[in-house]
Structure 1
């Protein structure tokens, strides 16, 4: 019901149905006292017709909407516009008209081309973006690398509309596909220099975008020297989900790196089609002379490490992602209760 009626009217519709059933039962059994369900029916009909007002008011709110997939909010915080989805535990996109960089993990996606074995001195990477949101990464790639071809898959058409209306996503080099990201990769014949996966919704993530089979598909859609970059969240010091995904990626790609963000509760998992080594990648990042890229590299380098394990493997047959997330949340809550954790989830 929710995609057609919205949350408020769906609940009212269920309540109306219960009143009708209760009234029918009362009438059938007693043939009297029908005034009570009749009054309740009238009250519910009035509530149905009334404007429900804001779903969830918040400071700086510019827009809110329930779509078939998400509860969407756009808020203005100073000079920064943010896209929040569902519970609003994480920021899905940031837009600053006067700045390319956001100061968050989104910026690290700009470094992905330099994790290839033989990157061009001035790369012009083709990009597949799984999870468009407000288009932060698409904006950044266009600003830094020029009008490179960008194919962006976003399952929620309402988010695509919000990206265009509130986040100024109008770059002609960005082509949007209103599709599930895995379906998009399975159907396209294109190959890319970089595939960026940022389709996760805090704290849960679609399990079919975390499995070995998905990463095998992504590898087939990468060029011979391509790079995969995956944004994964964590809580406090608990990186169980990051570890599971990095392990799984490592069963498909020869070399895997992890950048732990100092600004967010997120890590960026990067994997190259060709074997690479940490010292070469680190030296390459340290030698970047483009000001924006150099600034991002300076922030990322302290958190950069090579991933060696291949212990856990998530598959289409068994990918207990929700159980992993539940465990993270439970341990986090216990840590807060015992005074050893942060005050709130990211």
Structure 2
């Protein structure tokens, strides 16, 4: 019976090797159709993850009960200890595997390299199990079967990489597009969304609505200052700091960008020259907590997919931001929400109002009704902005307006906004829930 069990275990591990090696092909072939067919980002991630990793997980899970049965068979007088040892080994394997994948393999090998290594380990364990079963014929067939994951792994390693740079956090892509003036515009895509853009010829040009509003609103609020300071929560393509340098804006810039690869890409591909800018590769909340420096402007522009990370939207974080602002300082925050829902917008307004006496929402007028998402910028401070419209000239002339107070109140009154806290900040659910309620 143990020999038969070991044979079954060997073939299960070889099946896990084949499906793991093939996962990269499944991912690249299905990601586009799934994201297109399933508009809800959370559901699309769940569906895609299931399609790609269900079979590898299924086959990799088969050995646990088989090996437990074998351990009990050979240690019948110590069944409890044998089962306990197997469960302990499984728990340690899960913990160490998770840590190694996130902090070692992805960092050094990337996602494709990690899958190749895992497939190789599965194949080796499968062959070892077949040899241990004493089945030379099975081991020979297993050796032939190993050619399948080897071929798939070789093919995966030689496939064109969709990422210009694969970092610990993102698949970073740099996409060139012609500008209206005949020059070159570059887009920074993190995973599957554009997070920044820059024009080669004109550093002052803000190529996205959110960059235009963050740039214009910060300068509007500081226009009477001879010099001021700004702290950026997230760097992205660094288009706003680059534009301020080109304008000669009298600002001292600090950027907290958690992903050093994003900064490196901005310097190498988006024509950003740091100069005297202070760049910290760390979490922005931790940076603000450690340091007591106060800033005239703090700009929140950090995103994980379309949602701001939860720890950067809570009342506690806003209280920290207010403590790090000067007396007349202002906090600007980029917000993305579904134009037909606005639950996230309403909750962020409510949360900010619990901290600041003045909270404004700015947007680009004339929004295309076919667009399912809309970009806003929240302005929170001790008092209102002195104007209700800003204009930006350049390759993409834009105007932004302050949303009327009556419209804001109507949004809040027609919803049940949440005060986001460190204990409860369900922004992913609010973005993902597209029901009619």
Length-normalised TM-score, structure 1: 0.80
Q: Does 1:112 align with 2:217?
A: yes
- Quote the Cα distance in structure 2 between the aligned partners of 1:224 and 1:112: 18
CA contact (8 A) 1:207 1:321 kept: yes
2:130 to 13, 26, 44: 26
Structure 1 position 150, deviation (Å): 0.3
Hey, what does 2:376 align to over in structure 1? Answer: 267
1:53 to 139, 159, 183: 159
**Counterpart mapping for 1:258-297 below 5 A:** 258-262=361-365, 265-272=374-381, 274-276=382-384, 280-282=386-388, 285=389, 292=393
The size of the alignment, in residue pairs, is 309
- Quote the Cα distance in structure 2 between the aligned partners of 1:31 and 1:239: 63
CA contact (8 A) 1:215 1:252 kept: yes
* CA offset digits 1:67-91 (Å, max 9, x no partner): 11111100101121110011x2x31
> Which structure has the larger Rg?
2
Hey, what does 2:271 align to over in structure 1? Answer: 168
Runs of at least 5 residues in structure 1 that lack an aligned partner in the other structure: 57-62, 335-346
**Counterpart mapping for 1:138-217 below 5 A:** 138-144=241-247, 146-217=249-320
Structure 1 position 145, deviation (Å): 5.2
Structure 1 position 44, deviation (Å): 3.9
Hey, what does 1:342 align to over in structure 2? Answer: none
- Quote the Cα distance in structure 2 between the aligned partners of 1:95 and 1:75: 11
Q: Which 10-residue stretch deviates more, 197-206 or 138-147? A: 138-147
Runs of at least 5 residues in structure 2 that lack an aligned partner in the other structure: 1-100, 179-183, 368-372
Hey, what does 1:232 align to over in structure 2? Answer: 335
Hey, what does 1:77 align to over in structure 2? Answer: 177
Structure 1 position 30, deviation (Å): 5.0
**Counterpart mapping for 1:87-126 below 5 A:** 88=192, 90-99=193-202, 100-101=204-205, 102-113=207-218, 116=221, 120-121=223-224, 124-126=227-229
Hey, what does 1:299 align to over in structure 2? Answer: 399
- Quote the Cα distance in structure 2 between the aligned partners of 1:123 and 1:109: 19
CA contact (8 A) 2:338 2:431 kept: no
- Quote the Cα distance in structure 1 between the aligned partners of 2:404 and 2:267: 36
- Quote the Cα distance in structure 2 between the aligned partners of 1:268 and 1:172: 27
* CA offset digits 1:235-266 (Å, max 9, x no partner): 34222212211211111111101112346721
Length-normalised TM-score, structure 2: 0.64
Structure 1 position 41, deviation (Å): 3.5
What's the C-alpha RMSD, in Å, of the aligned pairs? Answer: 2.8
Q: Measured at CA, do residues 144 and 318 of structure 1 come closer, stay the same or move farther in structure 2, by a change above 3 Å?
A: same
Secondary structure in 1 matching 2:164: strand
Structure 1 position 123, deviation (Å): 5.5
Hey, what does 2:97 align to over in structure 1? Answer: none
- Quote the Cα distance in structure 2 between the aligned partners of 1:248 and 1:12: 45
